[in-house]
A and B are shown apart, each in its own frame.
Chain A
Amino acid sequence: MASTNCDIILEKIISQEKPGDDVMAHIQTCAECRQALASVAVLKTLGSPAQRMQPSQKFLEDFEAKAGSPELSTGLSGSLLPKLLLTAILAGLLFLGARYLADTDTVPKQQQTSSPAEIEPDSASSENTLEPLLIEKRSPAPVLKFDAPDKNVD
Protein backbone atom coordinates (compact mmCIF):
# COMPACT_ATOMS: atom_id res chain seq x y z
CA MET A 1 0.00 0.00 0.00
CA ALA A 2 1.28 3.47 -0.79
CA SER A 3 2.62 5.76 1.90
CA THR A 4 -0.33 8.14 1.53
CA ASN A 5 -2.72 5.34 2.44
CA CYS A 6 -0.67 4.59 5.52
CA ASP A 7 -0.90 8.28 6.39
CA ILE A 8 -4.68 8.16 6.04
CA ILE A 9 -4.82 5.14 8.33
CA LEU A 10 -2.65 6.95 10.85
CA GLU A 11 -4.96 9.96 10.74
CA LYS A 12 -7.99 7.75 11.31
CA ILE A 13 -6.38 6.10 14.30
CA ILE A 14 -5.42 9.48 15.77
CA SER A 15 -8.98 10.70 15.21
CA GLN A 16 -10.06 7.68 17.27
CA GLU A 17 -12.09 6.27 14.42
CA LYS A 18 -12.71 2.57 14.79
CA PRO A 19 -10.62 0.80 12.13
CA GLY A 20 -12.46 -1.49 9.75
CA ASP A 21 -11.44 -5.06 8.94
CA ASP A 22 -9.57 -4.02 5.81
CA VAL A 23 -7.59 -1.42 7.78
CA MET A 24 -6.74 -3.96 10.47
CA ALA A 25 -5.61 -6.42 7.82
CA HIS A 26 -3.37 -3.77 6.29
CA ILE A 27 -1.88 -2.78 9.64
CA GLN A 28 -0.98 -6.40 10.34
CA THR A 29 0.97 -6.66 7.12
CA CYS A 30 2.43 -3.15 6.84
CA ALA A 31 5.48 -2.49 8.99
CA GLU A 32 5.31 1.24 8.39
CA CYS A 33 1.78 1.51 9.75
CA ARG A 34 2.66 -0.54 12.80
CA GLN A 35 5.65 1.63 13.51
CA ALA A 36 3.63 4.79 13.04
CA LEU A 37 0.96 3.59 15.43
CA ALA A 38 3.59 2.58 17.94
CA SER A 39 5.09 6.07 17.72
CA VAL A 40 1.69 7.60 18.41
CA ALA A 41 1.29 5.32 21.40
CA VAL A 42 4.68 6.42 22.69
CA LEU A 43 3.79 10.07 22.09
CA LYS A 44 0.60 9.73 24.09
CA THR A 45 2.48 8.02 26.88
CA LEU A 46 5.09 10.75 27.04
CA GLY A 47 2.71 13.65 26.73
CA SER A 48 2.77 16.62 24.43
CA PRO A 49 6.15 18.00 23.34
CA ALA A 50 4.73 21.45 24.01
CA GLN A 51 4.36 20.59 27.65
CA ARG A 52 8.10 20.29 28.08
CA MET A 53 8.20 24.07 28.24
CA GLN A 54 6.86 25.24 31.59
CA PRO A 55 6.24 28.79 32.80
CA SER A 56 8.64 30.34 35.27
CA GLN A 57 7.51 31.27 38.76
CA LYS A 58 7.85 34.94 37.81
CA PHE A 59 5.55 34.45 34.82
CA LEU A 60 2.90 32.88 37.02
CA GLU A 61 3.24 35.53 39.71
CA ASP A 62 2.92 38.29 37.11
CA PHE A 63 -0.17 36.65 35.71
CA GLU A 64 -1.77 36.26 39.13
CA ALA A 65 -1.02 39.88 39.99
CA LYS A 66 -2.37 41.26 36.72
CA ALA A 67 -5.37 38.96 36.70
CA GLY A 68 -6.36 40.32 40.10
CA SER A 69 -6.19 43.95 39.03
CA PRO A 70 -9.53 45.81 38.97
CA GLU A 71 -9.33 46.95 35.34
CA LEU A 72 -8.99 43.35 34.14
CA SER A 73 -11.63 41.91 36.42
CA THR A 74 -14.32 44.12 34.91
CA GLY A 75 -14.71 41.65 32.10
CA LEU A 76 -15.26 38.66 34.33
CA SER A 77 -18.59 36.92 34.56
CA GLY A 78 -18.83 37.51 38.29
CA SER A 79 -18.81 41.27 37.92
CA LEU A 80 -20.56 41.44 34.57
CA LEU A 81 -24.07 40.94 35.88
CA PRO A 82 -24.02 43.78 38.44
CA LYS A 83 -22.55 46.05 35.79
CA LEU A 84 -25.29 45.18 33.33
CA LEU A 85 -27.94 45.71 36.00
CA LEU A 86 -26.51 49.10 36.91
CA THR A 87 -26.48 50.08 33.24
CA ALA A 88 -30.08 48.95 32.81
CA ILE A 89 -31.22 50.89 35.89
CA LEU A 90 -29.42 54.03 34.75
CA ALA A 91 -30.90 53.69 31.27
CA GLY A 92 -34.37 53.28 32.80
CA LEU A 93 -33.95 56.36 34.98
CA LEU A 94 -32.71 58.40 32.05
CA PHE A 95 -35.66 57.26 29.96
CA LEU A 96 -38.16 58.17 32.68
CA GLY A 97 -36.49 61.54 33.21
CA ALA A 98 -36.50 62.30 29.51
CA ARG A 99 -40.13 61.27 29.24
CA TYR A 100 -41.11 63.48 32.18
CA LEU A 101 -39.31 66.45 30.68
CA ALA A 102 -40.91 65.80 27.31
CA ASP A 103 -44.36 65.73 28.90
CA THR A 104 -43.88 68.97 30.81
CA ASP A 105 -42.56 70.71 27.71
CA THR A 106 -45.13 69.50 25.23
CA VAL A 107 -48.39 70.11 27.13
CA PRO A 108 -48.31 73.96 27.02
CA LYS A 109 -47.05 73.88 23.46
CA GLN A 110 -49.97 71.72 22.44
CA GLN A 111 -52.37 74.13 24.07
CA GLN A 112 -50.79 77.08 22.27
CA THR A 113 -50.41 75.62 18.86
CA SER A 114 -53.28 73.23 18.46
CA SER A 115 -56.09 74.35 16.18
CA PRO A 116 -59.76 73.37 16.46
CA ALA A 117 -59.41 71.21 13.39
CA GLU A 118 -56.89 69.01 15.21
CA ILE A 119 -59.31 68.12 17.94
CA GLU A 120 -61.27 65.04 17.09
CA PRO A 121 -64.61 65.00 18.88
CA ASP A 122 -65.85 61.96 20.60
CA SER A 123 -68.81 60.63 18.66
CA ALA A 124 -71.04 60.30 21.73
CA SER A 125 -70.62 63.72 23.31
CA SER A 126 -69.01 65.90 20.72
CA GLU A 127 -71.54 68.76 20.74
CA ASN A 128 -71.66 69.24 24.50
CA THR A 129 -68.02 69.02 25.35
CA LEU A 130 -66.26 70.38 22.34
CA GLU A 131 -68.18 73.59 21.83
CA PRO A 132 -66.86 75.50 24.86
CA LEU A 133 -63.36 74.45 23.92
CA LEU A 134 -63.85 75.70 20.37
CA ILE A 135 -65.15 79.01 21.60
CA GLU A 136 -62.20 79.44 23.85
CA LYS A 137 -59.84 78.60 21.05
CA ARG A 138 -61.56 80.76 18.44
CA SER A 139 -61.90 83.90 20.56
CA PRO A 140 -58.68 84.70 22.29
CA ALA A 141 -59.50 88.46 21.86
CA PRO A 142 -62.36 90.16 23.82
CA VAL A 143 -65.73 90.32 22.05
CA LEU A 144 -67.38 93.75 21.88
CA LYS A 145 -70.96 93.87 23.20
CA PHE A 146 -71.79 97.24 21.50
CA ASP A 147 -70.98 98.80 18.18
CA ALA A 148 -67.81 100.72 17.86
CA PRO A 149 -68.23 104.42 18.86
CA ASP A 150 -67.16 105.75 15.41
CA LYS A 151 -70.38 104.43 13.88
CA ASN A 152 -72.47 106.74 16.10
CA VAL A 153 -70.40 109.80 15.24
CA ASP A 154 -71.81 109.93 11.77
Chain B
Amino acid sequence: MYSSDPDKKDLIEMARKGQKQAFSQLVKMYYGLVMHFLLDRGLGHADAEDIAQETFLKAYSKVHQLSSAGSFAGWLLRIARNVWIDRFRKLQRQKNHTEESDLDELFESRSPEVIALDNAAVYDVYSTLKPRETVIIDLRVFQQLSFSEIAEIIGSKESNVRLIFHRTMKRLRNQSKENLK
Protein backbone atom coordinates (compact mmCIF):
# COMPACT_ATOMS: atom_id res chain seq x y z
CA MET B 1 0.00 0.00 0.00
CA TYR B 2 2.82 2.37 0.81
CA SER B 3 4.37 1.95 -2.60
CA SER B 4 1.20 2.94 -4.42
CA ASP B 5 1.54 6.67 -3.96
CA PRO B 6 -1.16 7.67 -6.48
CA ASP B 7 -3.71 5.58 -4.57
CA LYS B 8 -2.64 7.17 -1.32
CA LYS B 9 -2.95 10.66 -2.74
CA ASP B 10 -6.37 9.85 -4.14
CA LEU B 11 -7.49 8.56 -0.77
CA ILE B 12 -6.24 11.69 0.96
CA GLU B 13 -7.99 13.87 -1.59
CA MET B 14 -11.24 11.95 -1.14
CA ALA B 15 -10.88 12.19 2.64
CA ARG B 16 -10.35 15.95 2.32
CA LYS B 17 -13.73 16.11 0.61
CA GLY B 18 -15.30 14.46 3.64
CA GLN B 19 -15.49 10.83 2.52
CA LYS B 20 -15.31 8.77 5.68
CA GLN B 21 -14.63 5.48 3.91
CA ALA B 22 -11.55 6.92 2.27
CA PHE B 23 -10.26 8.09 5.61
CA SER B 24 -10.92 4.65 7.09
CA GLN B 25 -8.56 3.23 4.45
CA LEU B 26 -5.95 5.76 5.54
CA VAL B 27 -6.45 4.64 9.14
CA LYS B 28 -5.57 1.10 8.07
CA MET B 29 -2.53 2.32 6.17
CA TYR B 30 -1.11 4.56 8.87
CA TYR B 31 -2.21 2.75 12.02
CA GLY B 32 1.12 0.93 12.36
CA LEU B 33 3.17 4.08 11.91
CA VAL B 34 1.15 6.01 14.50
CA MET B 35 1.23 3.09 16.93
CA HIS B 36 5.00 2.65 16.64
CA PHE B 37 5.44 6.37 17.09
CA LEU B 38 3.38 6.26 20.30
CA LEU B 39 4.99 3.07 21.57
CA ASP B 40 8.31 4.86 21.15
CA ARG B 41 7.04 7.46 23.64
CA GLY B 42 7.02 4.71 26.28
CA LEU B 43 3.28 4.04 26.20
CA GLY B 44 1.71 0.65 26.70
CA HIS B 45 -0.27 -0.88 23.85
CA ALA B 46 -3.68 0.03 25.28
CA ASP B 47 -2.76 3.66 25.96
CA ALA B 48 -1.09 3.95 22.58
CA GLU B 49 -4.18 2.61 20.86
CA ASP B 50 -6.37 5.02 22.80
CA ILE B 51 -4.24 7.98 21.71
CA ALA B 52 -4.08 6.61 18.16
CA GLN B 53 -7.87 6.59 18.09
CA GLU B 54 -8.01 10.22 19.20
CA THR B 55 -5.28 11.11 16.72
CA PHE B 56 -7.20 9.69 13.78
CA LEU B 57 -10.42 11.37 14.90
CA LYS B 58 -8.67 14.75 15.16
CA ALA B 59 -7.02 14.19 11.80
CA TYR B 60 -10.39 13.30 10.29
CA SER B 61 -11.98 16.49 11.60
CA LYS B 62 -9.09 18.60 10.27
CA VAL B 63 -8.17 16.79 7.08
CA HIS B 64 -9.71 19.58 4.98
CA GLN B 65 -6.95 21.86 6.34
CA LEU B 66 -4.20 19.63 4.96
CA SER B 67 -2.41 21.46 2.19
CA SER B 68 -0.49 18.72 0.41
CA ALA B 69 -0.87 14.97 0.28
CA GLY B 70 2.86 14.38 0.45
CA SER B 71 3.12 15.50 4.02
CA PHE B 72 0.25 13.39 5.31
CA ALA B 73 2.42 11.06 7.45
CA GLY B 74 4.29 13.96 9.02
CA TRP B 75 1.06 15.87 9.60
CA LEU B 76 -0.52 12.80 11.21
CA LEU B 77 2.43 12.22 13.54
CA ARG B 78 2.42 15.87 14.59
CA ILE B 79 -1.21 15.47 15.62
CA ALA B 80 -0.30 12.24 17.45
CA ARG B 81 2.49 14.04 19.27
CA ASN B 82 0.18 16.86 20.33
CA VAL B 83 -2.46 14.44 21.57
CA TRP B 84 0.21 12.51 23.42
CA ILE B 85 1.57 15.69 25.04
CA ASP B 86 -1.93 16.67 26.16
CA ARG B 87 -2.48 13.23 27.61
CA PHE B 88 0.97 13.21 29.13
CA ARG B 89 0.32 16.46 30.93
CA LYS B 90 -2.92 15.13 32.27
CA LEU B 91 -1.56 11.84 33.47
CA GLN B 92 1.94 13.07 34.40
CA ARG B 93 3.47 9.96 33.04
CA GLN B 94 7.17 9.62 32.70
CA LYS B 95 8.69 8.90 29.38
CA ASN B 96 10.35 5.54 29.47
CA HIS B 97 12.86 5.22 26.76
CA THR B 98 15.05 2.18 26.56
CA GLU B 99 18.66 2.63 25.68
CA GLU B 100 19.71 1.77 22.22
CA SER B 101 21.88 -1.33 22.14
CA ASP B 102 25.19 -1.17 20.40
CA LEU B 103 25.40 -2.69 17.01
CA ASP B 104 28.27 -4.60 15.58
CA GLU B 105 29.97 -3.18 12.56
CA LEU B 106 29.32 -5.10 9.43
CA PHE B 107 31.93 -5.77 6.82
CA GLU B 108 31.01 -8.41 4.36
CA SER B 109 31.57 -9.16 0.75
CA ARG B 110 28.50 -11.02 -0.46
CA SER B 111 26.91 -9.98 -3.69
CA PRO B 112 23.81 -7.76 -3.53
CA GLU B 113 21.83 -10.37 -5.43
CA VAL B 114 22.21 -12.84 -2.55
CA ILE B 115 21.00 -10.29 -0.03
CA ALA B 116 18.18 -9.11 -2.26
CA LEU B 117 16.90 -12.64 -2.55
CA ASP B 118 16.93 -13.08 1.18
CA ASN B 119 13.63 -11.35 1.77
CA ALA B 120 12.69 -13.61 4.62
CA ALA B 121 15.78 -12.69 6.58
CA VAL B 122 15.03 -9.00 6.40
CA TYR B 123 11.43 -9.64 7.22
CA ASP B 124 12.54 -11.49 10.34
CA VAL B 125 14.62 -8.58 11.45
CA TYR B 126 11.53 -6.36 11.34
CA SER B 127 10.34 -8.08 14.49
CA THR B 128 13.50 -6.99 16.29
CA LEU B 129 13.15 -3.34 15.34
CA LYS B 130 12.38 -0.93 18.13
CA PRO B 131 9.44 1.43 17.65
CA ARG B 132 11.72 4.41 16.99
CA GLU B 133 13.69 2.46 14.39
CA THR B 134 10.47 1.39 12.72
CA VAL B 135 9.21 4.96 12.57
CA ILE B 136 12.50 6.28 11.18
CA ILE B 137 12.75 3.55 8.53
CA ASP B 138 9.16 4.17 7.50
CA LEU B 139 9.44 7.94 7.33
CA ARG B 140 12.79 7.90 5.54
CA VAL B 141 12.42 5.03 3.07
CA PHE B 142 8.68 4.90 2.49
CA GLN B 143 7.47 8.45 3.14
CA GLN B 144 10.63 10.06 1.73
CA LEU B 145 10.90 12.60 4.52
CA SER B 146 14.25 14.26 5.15
CA PHE B 147 16.23 13.57 8.30
CA SER B 148 15.55 17.10 9.54
CA GLU B 149 11.80 16.60 9.10
CA ILE B 150 11.94 13.26 10.90
CA ALA B 151 13.97 14.79 13.72
CA GLU B 152 11.40 17.55 14.14
CA ILE B 153 8.51 15.08 14.16
CA ILE B 154 9.94 12.63 16.67
CA GLY B 155 11.56 15.35 18.78
CA SER B 156 15.17 14.37 18.35
CA LYS B 157 18.37 15.70 16.81
CA GLU B 158 18.96 15.23 13.11
CA SER B 159 22.35 13.64 13.76
CA ASN B 160 20.75 11.15 16.12
CA VAL B 161 18.07 10.24 13.59
CA ARG B 162 20.74 9.76 10.94
CA LEU B 163 22.77 7.55 13.28
CA ILE B 164 19.81 5.36 14.21
CA PHE B 165 18.83 5.00 10.57
CA HIS B 166 22.25 3.83 9.43
CA ARG B 167 22.69 1.53 12.41
CA THR B 168 19.33 -0.05 11.64
CA MET B 169 20.22 -0.47 8.00
CA LYS B 170 23.45 -2.16 9.01
CA ARG B 171 21.58 -4.44 11.33
CA LEU B 172 19.27 -5.45 8.50
CA ARG B 173 22.31 -6.35 6.43
CA ASN B 174 23.83 -8.19 9.37
CA GLN B 175 20.66 -10.20 9.85
CA SER B 176 20.77 -11.21 6.23
CA LYS B 177 24.33 -12.39 6.67
CA GLU B 178 23.47 -14.45 9.72
CA ASN B 179 20.56 -16.11 8.00
CA LEU B 180 22.66 -17.11 5.05
CA LYS B 181 25.40 -18.73 7.12
Contact = CB atoms under 8 A, between A and B. Distances in A.
Interface of A: 7, 10-11, 14-16, 31-32, 34-55, 59-60, 62-64, 66-68, 72-78, 80
Contacts of A63: 24, 27, 53, 56-57, 60
Top 9 A-B residue pairs of the complex, sorted by shortest distance between their CB atoms: A38-B112, A77-B64, A53-B32, A75-B61, A50-B32, A34-B112, A78-B18, A50-B33, A55-B31
B18 A77 contact: yes
Interface residues of B, number: 58
A43 B136 CA distance: 13
Please report whether the interface of chain B is mostly helix, strand, loop or mixed according to DSSP.
helix
Given A35-B112, A39-B172, A52 B126 contact: yes
Contact of B141 (A48, A59, A68): A48
A36 B20 contact: no
B57 A35 contact: no
B35 interface: yes
Given A43-B137, A60-B28, A63-B24, A75 B116 contact: no
B17 to A, nearest CB: 7
A145 to B, nearest CB: 80
Given A39-B173, A45-B119, A51-B29, 13 more contacts: A10-B169, A15-B144, A35-B108, A41-B112, A41-B116, A42-B172, A48-B32, A48-B142, A49-B137, A50-B33, A50-B134, A50-B137, A53-B32
Contacts of B31: 53-55, 59
Contact of A14 (B20, B28, B122, B141): B141
B29 A80 contact: no
A15 B145 CA distance: 9
B28 A54 contact: yes
A49 B171 CA distance: 14
Contact of B122 (A43, A53, A76): A43
Contacts of B17: 77-78
B18 A35 contact: no
Given A36-B169, A54-B32, A49 B126 contact: yes
B166 A7 contact: yes
A46 B106 CA distance: 22
A50 B48 CA distance: 14
A53 B35 contact: yes
Contacts of B116: 38, 41-42
B138 A49 contact: yes
Given A39-B122, A72-B57, A44 B141 contact: yes
B123 A46 contact: yes
11 contacts: A7-B162, A14-B140, A31-B109, A35-B115, A39-B172, A43-B172, A48-B2, A53-B35, A53-B36, A55-B31, A75-B62
